[in-house]
Amino acid sequence: MDNDLQQLLNDGATAEKSGYVIRAVDVKRVYRNGEVETHALRGASLDVKRAEYLSIMGPSGSGKTTFFNMIGGLDRPSSGKVYIDQVDIAQLDPYELAWLRCRKVGYIFQSFNLIQVMSCIENVMLPMSFAGVSGEDARDKAMDILERVGLADRALHKPSEMSGGQQQRVAVARALANSPDIVLADEPTANLDLKTGEEIIELFWKLRSDLGVTIITATHDLKMLKRSDRIVWIEDGRISKISTPDEMQIQIEEVH
Amino acid sequence: MEQIGKQVKLPLGRALQIAVQGIRIRFGRSLVTVSGVVLGVAFFMSNVTSQLIKQAIADEREQRQTLNLMLTLMKSEIGDLSGKTVALATFGETTVSERDLLAVLRKTPGLTLGAPEALGGKAHLLLVLGAGPATASPDILTAGMAQPVLLDSLAERAYPSAKPGSSLAQVRRELFFGRESEEQADKLKTQAEQATFRTLWIGIISILVTIIGIANALLMSVTERFREIGTMKCLGAMSAFIRKLFLIESAMLGFAGAVIGTALGTLLSFAGYGLTFGFGLITAALNVGGLLVAAAACIAGGTVLSMLAAIYPANFAARMVPASALRTNV
């Protein structure tokens, strides 16, 4: 390992007291489009504990997506620091960033984003092959995970042959393929009906308690918000408020 | 905690596997890409084949003409060939026309053909063939002939000098065929150059058409798969892997297209010319080696061109930011 990378890890470790799986420190992100500068994030700081269930809320254009991408290692801050598992992602080269995305973070998308040409189990095995695991080991592990999400019997089906809820469960299984510390879910229930949405929430809840996975979702789904530990409100590029579901309940009642 | 490592480089086999799967599933789109290559390569190959066939027809005609000329000359010297004796001296390599002539002479009923010394002066005519210098002087070759007549296929053949005092002046040397005149040679050369230029020009156009066609089809396919590519990147795929995926896909489509195109182009040309001139004429003097080389070049060229055309789309796909997978509603 590179010396400077080791240094970075040490920095991260000292900056880190304990238990935080993600730390964002005064993160700013500016998009330049010719002469126009767009300040998507104007300084957001957040610590996420291990095995926390966190929801991020905010109106569109608030910088919610940018922040979400930032703490998921999909984008780098213009200034400020983002530590994922104590590593400053701004300092990583593309190979290391790909490594991090592969093993530390699992992604779940609003529209599932399964690879349509691959069967269910192949989709789950894909991140494993990116991590260098293949063959029987990968197949066995993929079957285990599919069993966990209750789809072992549909392993050889194509995504197009499955319902939305089933597809999203495959996506959850795929996100878990390399046993990540963090699962990042972007509106995971938005394309699902109420009942299947609840099933997914239940699945998240179970994963968190069984595997100790940190779950971060961007969502407007009330049921999802209710089950989370903390809710982060983002407005105009800043974190305006961090509340618990109970407090939020009161606010919503006030509105209605 | 676990240390951050470098992302593993996936073996080519895995990319190949995924690419094959992609082609199989998106068969319709792949067919469109392939047909672009097929058309380009078939166009090019049919041109090359046509050139070769035209050349073959011209060669074959020339040979037949030369043969007729030779026979006519012989007949004008000694009349009807039947019942005559012809001495034959061959020096060096013989041409196709000369071999054809010999074949005709051997089949002529009543005609005796033999070496000058074996015939012992009974010959009516001495035929000298081949491209090499003669090893015996004309007077020795024609020794004993009542009326020495020597027909030579080469105007400037070197002969050893005759014995002093021999009657070389009596030996008549006729030419079966001299070299083509300078004018004719120039004309043929210009025609050949024009044909080459035309082939080259058509070749360049078909190459451009192929490249643009493939690049366009692949770009479409990249746009179509935007989310898929982004998803793969989110799952830990590196840009190099995505690039590899598209290059492999394109190379395979290109190879398939080039093989089909080459076969198609060759067959079409053969059918066209064969039906017009007869298959016997076009195959008699066909440069099969040249045709095989052209076919191999077409297949290799088609594959390489497809990969070249894929560079831009592949880079385009590889540069994509993973985050775009989250929000693209394609």
pLDDT value of position B1: 47
What's phi and psi for B328, nearest 5 deg?
Answer: -80, 125
Residue type, B283: T
How far B299 CA lies from chain A's nearest CA (Å)?
Answer: 29
Beta bridge partners of B24: none
Task: Tell if the CB–CB gap between B228 and A100 is shorter than 8 Å.
Answer: no
Whether B21 and chain A come into contact, CB under 8 Å, resolves to yes
The whole-number average pLDDT for the span A7-23 is: 60
pLDDT at residue A231 tops 70: yes
Looking at beta carbons, which residues of chain A come within 8 Å of B326?
A: 65, 68-69, 74, 107, 109-110, 186
Q: Angle at which helices B239-277 and B12-25 pack, to 10 degrees?
A: 60
CA distance A93 to B302: 37
pLDDT at residue B328 tops 70: no
Residue B249 CA, chain-centre distance (Å), reads: 30
pLDDT digits (tens, 9 = 90+) for B12-43: 777 888 888 888 877 888 888 888 889 888 98
Kindly compute the dihedral angle of the four CA atoms of residues A7, A10, A14, A16, in this order, to the nearest 10 degrees. 110
Confidence of residue B218 (pLDDT cuts 50, 70, 90): confident
pLDDT digits (tens, 9 = 90+) for A108-120: 988 888 988 889 9
The set of residues, in sequence order, having a beta carbon less than 8 Å from that of A38 and lying 6+ positions away, is A30, A31, A32
Among chain B residues, the shortest Cα distance to A102 is held by: B236
Among chain B residues, the shortest Cα distance to A1 is held by: B5
How far B318 CA lies from chain A's nearest CA (Å)?
Answer: 12
**Residue B135 or A8, more confident:** B135
**This model's pTM is above 0.95:** no
pLDDT value of position B293: 93
Beta bridge partners of A107: A184
The whole-number average pLDDT for the span A191-200 is: 87
Which residue in B126, B104, B130 sits closest to B117, CA to CA? Answer: B126
Looking at beta carbons, which residues of chain A come within 8 Å of B327?
A: 65, 110, 186
pLDDT at residue A208 tops 80: yes
pLDDT digits (tens, 9 = 90+) for B39-56: 888 988 888 888 888 888
Among chain B residues, the shortest Cα distance to A178 is held by: B235
Task: Tell if the CB–CB gap between A101 and B25 is shorter than 8 Å.
Answer: no
Which tokens sit at A118? Answer: 């691959």
From B26, B234, B241, residue closest to A74, measured CB to CB: B234
pLDDT at residue A62 tops 60: yes
Alpha helix positions (H), B142-224: 182-224
Whether B236 and chain A come into contact, CB under 8 Å, resolves to yes
CA distance B107 to B111: 8
pLDDT at residue B176 tops 70: no
Among chain A residues, the shortest Cα distance to B14 is held by: A129
Alpha helix positions (H), B143-181: none
Chain A residues interacting with chain B (CB cutoff of 8 angstroms): 1, 5, 9, 13, 65, 68-69, 74-75, 85-87, 92, 94-96, 98-103, 107, 109-111, 113, 115-118, 126-127, 129-132, 134, 174, 177-178, 186
From A9, A98, A109, residue closest to B325, measured CB to CB: A109
pLDDT at residue B84 tops 70: yes
Confidence of residue B317 (pLDDT cuts 50, 70, 90): confident
From A109, A131, A186, residue closest to B8, measured CB to CB: A131
Specify burial of residue B276 (Cβ count, 10 A radius: 0-12, 13-18, 19+).
exposed
First to last CA, chain B: 39
CA distance A118 to B232: 12
From A74, A98, A177, residue closest to B323, measured CB to CB: A74
Task: Tell if the CB–CB gap between B237 and A111 is shorter than 8 Å.
Answer: no
Say how many CB pairs under 8 Å bridge A and B. 108
Among chain B residues, the shortest Cα distance to A100 is held by: B4
The whole-number average pLDDT for the span A67-76 is: 84
pLDDT value of position B172: 54
The set of residues, in sequence order, having a beta carbon less than 8 Å from that of B130 and lying 6+ positions away, is B90, B91, B92, B93, B94, B98, B153, B154
CA distance B2 to A104: 10
Looking at beta carbons, which residues of chain A come within 8 Å of B244?
A: none
Whether B235 and chain A come into contact, CB under 8 Å, resolves to yes
The whole-number average pLDDT for the span A172-187 is: 91
Looking at beta carbons, which residues of chain B come within 8 Å of A74?
A: 234, 321-323, 326
Among chain A residues, the shortest Cα distance to B240 is held by: A95
Whether B169 and chain A come into contact, CB under 8 Å, resolves to no
How far A235 CA lies from chain B's nearest CA (Å)?
Answer: 19
What's phi and psi for B321, nearest 5 deg?
Answer: -80, 135
Query: B26 to each of B30, B216, B249, B260, B315, how far by Cα in Å?
Result: 6, 16, 11, 19, 21
Task: Tell if the CB–CB gap between A174 and B235 is shorter than 8 Å.
Answer: yes
CA distance A163 to A117: 16
The whole-number average pLDDT for the span B244-252 is: 89
Q: Is the dihedral of CA B129, B133, B139, B141 positive or negative?
A: negative
Specify burial of residue A243 (Cβ count, 10 A radius: 0-12, 13-18, 19+).
middle
Whether B239 and chain A come into contact, CB under 8 Å, resolves to yes
pLDDT at residue A201 tops 80: yes
pLDDT value of position A14: 46
Q: Are B51 and B195 in contact (CB under 8 A)?
A: yes
Among chain A residues, the shortest Cα distance to B7 is held by: A99
What's phi and psi for B154, nearest 5 deg?
Answer: -125, 125
Task: Tell if the CB–CB gap between B232 and A115 is shorter than 8 Å.
Answer: yes
Say how many CA atoms lie within 13 Å of B130 toward its Cβ.
13
Q: Are A119 and A128 in contact (CB under 8 A)?
A: no
